[in-house]
Structures are given as structure tokens and as C-alpha cells.
Amino acid sequence: MKRNLLLRFVILASFIILLPTAGLARDIAPIVSTDWLLANLKNPKLVILDIRRVEDYREGHIPGALNAFYGAWAYMKDGLYASLPEKDEIDDTISYMGIHFDQWVVVTGCMDTPRLSYQSARVACTLQYAGIENVALLDGGMNKWIAEKKPLSKKIERRPASKFKGKYTSEKFADKHYIEERMGKLILLDLREREFFTGEKKMDCVPMRGHIPGAFNMPTSCAFNEDRTFKTKEELRAIAEEAAGKDLNAAIVTYCDAGQCCPTWSYLLMEVLGYKNVRLYVGSMQEWMQDPRAPVER
Amino acid sequence: MYKGYVVDKALLDKDPHFKAGCILCHAGNDGELSKEKAHLRMLKKPSDNLRSCGVCHKKTAANYAKSLHYTTIGQRTGVMPRFSEAELKTFDEKVFEKSCRSCHASCGDCHVKGAPVGGISIGLVAKHKFVKKDEGKTCAFCHGGRVYPEYTGDYGGAPDVHYQKGMLCMDCHKKAEFHGDGTAYKSKNEVPQRPACKSCHPQGKEAKKETQVAHSLHDGKVSCYGCHSGSAYRNCNDCHGGHAAAGPGMILGRSPRDRKVLTTLRLIPTVRDTFAPAGIKMEHFDAVPNYWDTPAHNIKKRTERTRKCDVCHVDRKNFLTKETLIKNGAKANEELIFVPKAIAR
């Protein structure tokens, strides 16, 4: 019994000591600029994932970028719009891209609409879920790259496949049960636009109006400038602290309507602002509101 | 320069199609100053007459005249066993020539300006550039009710694994399949250039032993789609029949073309009164089923069927049954019902 307690203490102490280093494994910034990317195009560690549709990729993409369409990373399953693929499917996708754990993966996509702008973060979070640490988002996405007249290629890129087997973390995503068990102890961030949070509007896919009781509203759109680049770290911090507070160890869950836009703040909170315990609820309101007994606030 | 001029000026010097001016294809009178006179006898869609393109592309145009995209004869072949001889004659005159044939694609529909579908066209594919291919604008538009959205995942569910890997239509469906080889095939099933899964994925070369075993056990009994159709697809009837709400559905049953093989079926919209307005009763309506074998375009490496034998052998999920058959359908439908055997354990 005593030995068991000692073992538990050692594990807990190791966990607490190592916790601050959890976010320090990065070799690249979580958000990279178009200029940085251009300067690093020939870096052998770099892999660029272009998550736009195949048709758009073929029209012209960043030289060397691989096409990794968003639909492979989040798709409708069991009636939920943006479910997480099975682990072996994620392994298949990453293997096909020839990605290894030690590579720097920059995700870029189309920023034409808010919904499209949020997709890169979902892919980044999924890569991290699989254990790839050096993941980054291209600031401004393909729209900025093209607007700046940076080089484009029409060559369809392929890399030798890797035999990727993800080291999946259980700390990236939350499900309904996780939230229900911790109601009142979590900081819930509702990342939809205000009128969806208050219940004035609702998406067709969400059965009921309103939000999870106690949630704070922090729309995903607030993270972006008008040109779809991210706001500065200071601006992001001011927005985040208003809703999530200053405690970087607080347990936070982000959600939206269908799990498509909540990855953005989840990624920013953890990777840019240093919050350590942030999960995103993939099923989001689409799943939560299907349960007529689930608590709802308007 | 006139602002509405649709041809990209930069193309004029580069592309030999423009060397002899617009009149080479569009006719009209380029020496006239008034629009009315200049456009006299002008051809809006020159390639509606294949001879226009045939001047330079003789062999391709000759082959294409016999291809299924041009003749659309596949639609006639599919439905004709329902007709008596007299009915077929009426069908040819009143329906096929006036309705089905309107869907044929001319050269320009794929290479210059998208074909009108339901009166709507995407317009020029690329500022009157003669494009070799642009599947997202051409194939996608005519095959956008089903097939293309299934392929890209736009109906929900994962995109086809080939799309996930960056492939578009013509990575599998080769030029020869569209342009034809000079033979007037009656159905797409006769076209030798049709893609086949096994051309790229030969059986016996699978990486895992259990995959080899699974493939060998089902070889000749189940089509590849049978297990690897990964998500939602639409039945033709969902939109055209007016009998069902549009929505994803998937059906497994015996192939109408080869009853030994279990495959994915699609419910087609021909019902007993479909051709009544043309005075056709369909004397042999019951001879042909309402379900056709369908090459699913939502292929996934891993599906619930590849993961778990019980999905088919115990749950019989989405198998055609007497209860799920279309009401008032053809008697031949019943022959497509297949009941998978339980596995001896």
C-alpha cells in the first residue's frame, strides 16, 4: 500500500515538473508568416499541407505543398458534421503525405469565407492529436500568399509514404460525457457568433437554440483581422483573458455548432497564449442539443 | 477594347485555334461593322456539328461521333427492354431524340464552355481557352447531381479516398474512354477503356495477409464497391422520382447484369407511368429491375464492412429486402435480393 502511494506520488511529481515543458517542444512558431514560409521553402524538415479542394490545388499552390483536402480530416459520421476520423484513418492520411514525427508541418487553406478560414486549425489540432508537435498555421492562408504574388506551382507533389503510427493523446478532444461530468468546474468557451450564442439564431443542423450553461462567448471571428490574418499575440491575449481568465492551468473546453470553428481558439489558446489544458468538443452544439435533457441556457 | 469581350486577349497569339480568327469556327461575317450583319449565320456552338472540330481533329471527331458521351445511347439501352417493338419506335421518336439526346456533350462542352444543365451553364471554362481538361468545371457540372459530390464528400461522409489523394476524374477515366475508339458501344459496360479497381490494385499484392484472405474469399462474389463504398450516395430516384426525399442512401443487392455478384445498387427513376405522357405504357416494365448496379464514387480503404464481418453477415445492413423494395416496382426487383449467410464460427 505504502509502495503504491509512493509510486503515485513520484508519477504525479514527474507530471507536475514536466508540465511546463509540454509546450516547449516546438521548433517553429505556431503561426508562420508568408515571408517566413517563402524563406524556408527548401528546408528539408518542412512539409506544407494545402487543405483546399483538389481542383483549387491544381490551379496553383505553394511550391512543394502537398494536397491534403480538409474532408479527409473531418467529415460527417453518425449524423455529426465534422467528426474525427478513426485513428487508423488519420494514420493512413499522414502516412500517404509522407510525414514523420520530426517534421515541421505548415497547414494552409482557403480563407475566402469564415468557415473555410477555420479549417486549417482543425487539421493542425488533428495532427497534434496524432503526436506531431511542430505544426503551424500559415498566417493569412493561401489568399495572402496569392495576393502577395508569391510563387505558385502546378506540379502535383508526392512524397514517399511513411509508415506513420500516431502517438495519440487523450487530452486534445472532449466529448459530451467529459463536459457533463465536469459541469461547473470547466471554463466553457462558446466560439460561435453572438446571435448564435444568445439563441437569436441557430444553424439548421443544431436542434435547439442557446448555449451550454455557464459558457462564455468568444466568437472565432474575433481572432482574425479583416484580411484573415491573425490578430497580434497581445490582442489575442486581451480577448482570451476577458473570457477564459488568466489562469493558464484552468481546464477549458471550446465548442461551436459542429466542431468546425472551435479548433481555431483551441489552437491559439494552447500554442500562442500558453494555456495548458484546452480541449475542443468536436460534437459541439450539434450533438449536445440532440439530447432533450441536456442543460441549455439562452 | 470592349469590356465584355470574352476571349482573353493574351490567348489570341498563343493558341492556334485563333490563328484564322473567330470565323474559322463560329462563321459569321468578320468584314461587317454592324453586329447584325457580322452575326448573320453565326454558329453559337460550333462543335454541335462535329465537322467543325473535325477539320483539324479528324480522327478524334470521327471517334467521338460514336462515343457514349455524344450518342447518349446508354440511356436508351438501359430502358429499351421495357418496351414492345412499337413502343420502342415511339420512344425513339418522342422521347430519346427530343429529351435524352439533349444531354449529349459536344467537344466544346468539355473543352471551351460548360454545357447547359437545366438551362444553367458555367459559361466559358477559362476565358475561351481550349482546355485539355478541367474536371471541377466540366465533369462536375453534368455529373453534379450524383457522382461528383459523392466523390468530393459534399453530400456528407468522407470524400472518396482517391480525391483525398489528390486525384480527379481523368486520373482514372482516360481520354480514350471519352473520345471513344471508333466503336459505337451500346452501354458504358462494353467500353474496354473503363477503369477497373484491379488495374491499379491487383489482387494478391495486398500488404496485409488478412486483407489478402478477405479479398480472395469475396473474389467473384462481391464487387469492390460492395465493401469499400464508404459513405452516403444518392439514388437517381431521390431527385428525379418525386417519390422520395433527396437524401443519402446505399443499397446492396445482386447485380442486375450478373446475378452472382453482390454489389452497390442505385434506385433509378423509371416508374410505371414515366413515359405515359408520350403514350408509352411499357408493356415489359416488369422485365427490368428498378435498381442498377452502380460504381460507387465514395471509396474508402476502411469501412464498417471491412472492419467487421457482422455488418453484412449478421446485421445485413443496407441489403435490399422485400420490405425495402420500391412500392409498385418491377417484379424483376425481387431477383436482386440477396441474403448473406451467417459465418460458421
The three grid cell numbers given for residue B33, joined into one nine-digit string: 461593322
Radius of gyration of chain A, Cα coordinates, nearest whole angstrom? 19
Is there a contact between B224 and B230 (Cβ–Cβ < 8 Å)?
Answer: no
C-alpha A133/C-alpha A27 separation (Å) is 9
Gap from A131 CA to chain B (nearest CA, Å): 21
pLDDT of the residue at B98: 85
Model confidence, pTM = 0.90
Residues B73 and B173 in one domain: yes
Residue B106 CA to residue B179 CA, distance in Å, equals 11
How does residue B292 score in pLDDT terms, banded at 50, 70 and 90? very high
Residue B201 lies in a domain: no
B234 has pLDDT over 90:
no
Q: Which of A55, A71, A156 sits opposite B136 (nearest CB)?
A: A55
The predicted structure's pLDDT at residue A78: 87
> Who has greater pLDDT, B129 or B100?
B129
A135 vs A28, A49, A158, B54, CA distance in Å?
Answer: 8, 10, 19, 53
pLDDT of residue A223: 98
User: Both A115 and A177 in a single domain?
Assistant: no
Same domain, B7 and B57: no
> What three-state secondary structure class fits A31?
strand
Does residue A40 lie within any of the structural domains? Answer: yes
Instruction: Look at residue B291 in the predicted model and tell me its pLDDT.
Output: 93
Helix spans in A171-291 (H): 176-181, 194-198, 233-244, 262-267, 284-288
* pLDDT band of A203, cuts 50, 70, 90: very high
Query: Rounded to whole angstroms, how far apart are CA atoms A253 and B238?
Result: 40
Shared-domain flag, residues A249 and A213: yes
How many Cβ contacts (< 8 angstroms) between chains A and B? 54
Q: What percentage of chain B reaches a pLDDT higher than 70?
A: 95
Strands A187-190 and A278-281: unpaired
- Report which of residues A2 and B42 the model is more confident about: B42
A172 touches A280 (CB < 8 A): yes
* C-alpha span between A117 and A230 (Å, rounded): 11
Same domain, B6 and B76: no
The verdict on B298 touching A (C-beta cutoff 8 Å) is no
Q: What is the pLDDT of residue A4?
A: 57
Q: Report yes or no: B62 and B54 within 8 Å, Cβ to Cβ.
A: yes
Question: Across all residues in chain B, what is the average pLDDT?
Answer: 90
Burial of B278 by CB count in 10 Å (0-12 exposed, 13-18 middle, 19+ buried)? middle
B89 and B187 share one domain: yes
Q: Quick check: is A231 in a domain?
A: yes
Q: CB of B165 within 8 Å of any CB in chain A?
A: yes
Radius of gyration of chain B (CA): 23
- Overall size of chain B counted in residues: 345
Q: Are residues B217 and B312 in the same domain?
A: yes
Q: Work out how many domains chain A is built from and give that number.
A: 2
Which DSSP category does B27 fall into? Answer: B
A50 pLDDT more than 60? yes
- Whether A182 is in a domain gets the answer yes
The ipTM estimated for the assembled molecules is 0.89
Question: What is the predicted pLDDT for the residue at B157?
Answer: 82
Q: What percent of chain A has pLDDT over 90?
A: 90
pLDDT at A25: 66
Give me the pLDDT at residue B127, please.
86
Residue B59 half-sphere exposure toward CB, CA atoms < 13 A:
2
How close does chain B come to A263, measured CA to CA in Å?
Answer: 19
Give the residue from B195, B230, B259 where a domain finishes: B195
Band of pLDDT at residue B104, cut at 50, 70 and 90: confident
Query: What is the percentage of chain A residues whose pLDDT exceeds 70?
Result: 92
CATH number of the structural domain spanning residue A193: 3.40.250.10
The partner residues of A61 in beta bridges, in order of sequence, read: A153
- What is the band of B271 on the pLDDT scale with cuts at 50, 70, 90? confident
| Pairing of the two strands A187-190 and A135-138 | unpaired
A155 part of a folded domain: no
Whether chain A has a CB inside 8 Å of the CB on B170: the answer is no
Average pLDDT over residues B100-118: 87
Asked if residue A30 and residue A143 are part of one domain, the reply reads yes
pLDDT digits (tens, 9 = 90+) for A144-195: 999 999 999 999 999 999 999 999 999 999 999 999 999 999 999 999 999 9
Residues B4 and B70 in one domain: no
pLDDT class of A5 with cuts at 50, 70, 90: low
Residue A293 lies in a domain: no
Residue A10 pLDDT: 46
Residues A121 and A158 sit within 8 Å (Cβ to Cβ): no
Question: Are B226 and B341 part of one and the same domain?
Answer: yes
The pLDDT of residue A24 is above 60? no
Rounded to an integer, what distance in angstroms lies between the CA atom of residue B178 and that of residue B109? 12
Q: Please provide the average confidence, as pLDDT, over all residues in chain A.
A: 92
Q: Are residues A182 and A279 in the same domain?
A: yes
Of B164, B195, B226, the domain-final residue: B195
CA–CA gap between residue A284 and residue A292 (Å, rounded): 15
Q: Mean pLDDT across the stretch B33-56? A: 92
User: Is A224:A266 a contact under the CB 8 Å cutoff?
Assistant: no
Q: Answer whether residue B200 is part of any domain.
A: no
Find the angle CA(B168)-CA(A128)-CA(A101) to the nearest 5 degrees: 80
Instruction: Answer yes or no: do A42 and A122 share one domain.
Output: yes
pLDDT attached to residue B242: 56
Q: Does a structural domain hold residue B221?
A: yes
Is residue B135 classed exposed, middle or buried when 0-12, 13-18 and 19+ CB atoms within 10 A define those classes?
buried
Q: Are A228 and A144 in contact (CB under 8 A)?
A: yes
Q: How many domains does chain B have?
A: 3
pLDDT at B249: 66
Q: Which residue of A has its CA nearest to B163?
A: A54
The Cα A118–Cα A259 span in angstroms is 10
**Each residue of B148-162: pLDDT tens digit?**
999 999 887 889 999
Q: A125 lies in a domain?
A: yes
Residue A47 lies in a domain: yes
Which domain does A177 fall in, by range?
173-288
Statement to judge: residues B39 and B123 lie in one domain:
no
Per-residue model confidence as pLDDT tens digits over A248-270: 999 999 999 999 999 999 999 99
Whether B108 is in a domain gets the answer yes
The percentage of chain B sitting over the pLDDT mark of 90, rounded to a whole number, equals 69
| Residue B124 counted as domain residue | yes
Q: How far apart are CA A81 and CA B288, in angstroms?
A: 38
Q: Does A85 lie at the interface with B, CB-CB under 8 angstroms? A: yes
For residue B269, which phi and psi values (nearest 5 degrees)? Answer: -90, 5
Give the max Cα distance, chain B: 85
For the cut 50, the answer to whether the pLDDT of residue A17 exceeds it is no
Is B23 touching A (CB cutoff 8 A)?
no
* A interface test, pick of B160, B162, B164 with most A CB neighbours within 10 Å: B164
In tens, the pLDDT along B239-249 reads: 766 544 445 56
Q: What is the pLDDT of residue B156?
A: 79
Q: Could you give the CA distance from residue A19 to residue A16 in angstroms, rounded to a whole number?
A: 5
pLDDT at residue number A8: 55
B302–A89 C-beta distance less than 8 A:
yes
Are B172 and B68 contained in the same domain?
Answer: yes
CB contact under 8 A, B168 and A58: yes
pLDDT the model gives residue A41: 98
> 3-state DSSP call for residue A153?
strand
Query: What is the structure's pLDDT at B144?
Result: 87
Report pLDDT digits (tens) over A56-84: 999 999 999 999 999 999 999 888 999 99
* B96 contacts chain A (CB < 8 A): no
Both A283 and A190 in a single domain? Answer: yes
Instruction: Give the range of the structural domain holding residue B266, as residue numbers without chain letter.
Output: 206-345
One domain, residues A62 and A131? yes
Residue A152 lies in a domain: no
Same domain assignment for residues A119 and A209: no
Distance of alpha carbon A198 from alpha carbon B259, whole angstroms: 57
Residues A137 and A190 in one domain: no
**DSSP 8-state assignment for residue B23:** H
Take residue A257 and report the three cell numbers written for it.
Answer: 455548432
User: B10 with B99, same domain?
Assistant: no
SS3 B293: strand
Q: Are residues B63 and B159 in the same domain?
A: yes
> What DSSP string runs through A258-290?
SSSSHHHHHHIIIIIS--S-EEEESSHHHHHTT
What pLDDT, on a 0 to 100 scale, did the predictor assign at position B164? 95
Q: CA neighbours within 13 Å on the CB side: how many for A217?
A: 14
Same domain, A143 and A38: yes
Which candidate, A77, A296, A75, A84, places its Cα nearest to that of A202? A296
On whether the CB atoms of residues A257 and A205 are closer than 8 A, the answer is: yes
Dist. CA B232–CA B248, nearest whole Å = 5
Closest C-alpha among A172, A128, A158 to residue A277? A172
Taking alpha carbons only, the member of B35, B163, B53 closest to residue B111 is: B53
Together in a domain, B188 and B235:
no
Nearest chain A Cα distance for residue B94, angstroms = 39
pLDDT at A290: 96
